[in-house]
């Protein structure tokens, strides 16, 4: 079953922006037209919690692979890095009880709904290791 490696990696980068320290350091998201304010899906609290957990793990994988991607010398090497990162991220997402489609759908929903995004940020803050307090 082929999946878009680049699309998932991009979604993972979005998830990385939800880590508590980064999310609080960012400025407010760009204003969106009212037509886009309605999220594509309505995730449950349990799904949001799974997303918060998975997004923290995916963020760590993205941080791990970002330098490898930048160091890749050609398209074939970049593709290999994308593939490795994708496989690892998929395992992380699945381990938290979500499919890639669910993870991406929730990511789109929180991107469109500032209240959902805030709830996920709060969930991620509660789950942050003691040494990684938000700034």
**Mean pLDDT of successive 10-residue stretches along the chain, which has 135 residues:** 50 52 33 45 91 91 91 93 92 94 91 91 78 43
Q: What pLDDT score was predicted for residue 36? A: 46
Which string of DSSP letters, residue by residue, matches the chain? ----HHHHHHHHHHHHTTSHHHHHHSPPPPP--GGG-S-SS---HHHHHHHHHHHHHHHHHHHHHHHHHHH--SHHHHHHHHHHHHHHHHHHHHHTT--HHHHHHHHHHHHH-HHHHHHHHHHHHHHS-TT----
Ordered by start, the domain boundaries in the chain are 48-128
Model confidence, pTM:
0.69
């Amino acid at each position: 079953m082929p999946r878009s490696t680049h699309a998932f990696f991009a979604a993972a980068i979005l998830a990385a922006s939800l880590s508590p320290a980064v999310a609080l350091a960012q400025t407010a998201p760009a204003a969106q037209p009212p037509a886009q304010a309605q999220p594509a899906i309505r995730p449950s609290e349990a799904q949001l919690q799974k997303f918060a957990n998975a997004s923290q793990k995916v963020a760590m994988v993205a941080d791990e692979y970002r330098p490898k991607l930048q160091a890749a010398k050609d398209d074939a090497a970049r593709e290999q890095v994308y593939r490795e990162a994708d496989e690892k991220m998929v395992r992380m997402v699945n381990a938290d009880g979500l499919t890639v489609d669910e993870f991406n759908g929730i990511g789109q929903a929180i991107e469109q709904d500032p209240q959902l995004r805030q709830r996920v940020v709060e969930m991620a803050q509660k789950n942050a290791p003691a040494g990684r307090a938000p700034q």
